[in-house]
């Protein structure tokens, strides 16, 4: 994991980017908002053959703390996760800060999830998934095959998508 100065730089970039993306009309805060979707992979998990739903490692819990610190001031409308403890534990602290529940999605229904996100009235989403689901979901949201499967040992990617009411505005991948 990177040092705290690097995390502060990322945090500053994310805050600036996401704040710029949260513009609303005066009449209805949800009308015409620029949607911001943040996708993260679950934090490091215990490698075991004993269960398909292992807990996080010590490094994983440290990554959760870093992710929480990075996004603690960003108001999130919707938290989405697959139904694995490594995923829900990755974003549970942020969901608690935002006083939001974590909505569970099925990892074999990513096309439907992409459409649900794009058609939602919500303006900000945090989605936690897996090395194979996050790039697939991101590609479906942006409508092109741009992102490939994440290496199984890489837990550091944060995918950010900004969508105006009319089009995809920007995509970024940062590391933490």
Q: What is the pLDDT of residues 14-44, one digit of tens each?
A: 554 555 445 444 444 455 788 999 999 999 9
Residues 172 and 160: their CA atoms lie apart, in Å, by 5
Query: Are 90 and 155 within 8 A, CB to CB?
Result: no
In which domain, by residue range, is 9 found? 4-175
Where does 131-173 have alpha helices with state H? 133-142
Overall domain count for the chain? 1
| pLDDT, tens digit (0-9, with 9 covering 90-100), for 51-86 | 999 999 999 999 999 999 999 999 999 999 999 999
Tally of residues, the chain: 176
Chain mean position to CA 42: 9
Residue 99, both tokens: 């006083």
Strands 124-129 and 35-41: parallel
Q: Which residues contact 95 (CB under 8 A, 6 or more apart)?
A: 76, 79, 101, 102
- Provide the CATH number for the domain around residue 61: 3.40.50.1240
Residue 11 banded pLDDT, cuts 50, 70, 90: low
């Amino acid at each position: 994991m990177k040092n705290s100065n690097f995390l502060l730089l990322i945090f500053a970039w994310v805050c600036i980017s996401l704040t710029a993306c949260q513009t609303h009309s005066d009449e209805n805060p949800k009308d015409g908002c620029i949607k911001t979707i943040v996708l993260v992979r679950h934090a490091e998990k215990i490698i075991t053959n004993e269960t398909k739903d292992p807990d996080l490692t010590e490094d994983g819990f440290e990554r959760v703390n870093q992710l929480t610190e990075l996004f603690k001031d960003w108001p999130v409308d919707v938290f989405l996760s697959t139904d694995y403890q490594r995923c829900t534990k990755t974003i549970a602290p942020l969901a608690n800060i935002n006083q939001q529940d974590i909505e569970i999605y099925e990892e074999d229904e990513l096309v439907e999830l992409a459409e649900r996100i794009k058609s939602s009235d919500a303006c900000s989403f945090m989605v936690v998934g897996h090395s194979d689901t996050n790039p697939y979901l991101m590609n479906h949201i942006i409508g092109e095959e741009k992102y490939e499967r994440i290496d199984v040992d890489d837990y550091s990617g944060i995918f950010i998508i900004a969508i105006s009411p009319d089009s995809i505005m920007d995509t970024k991948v940062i590391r933490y």
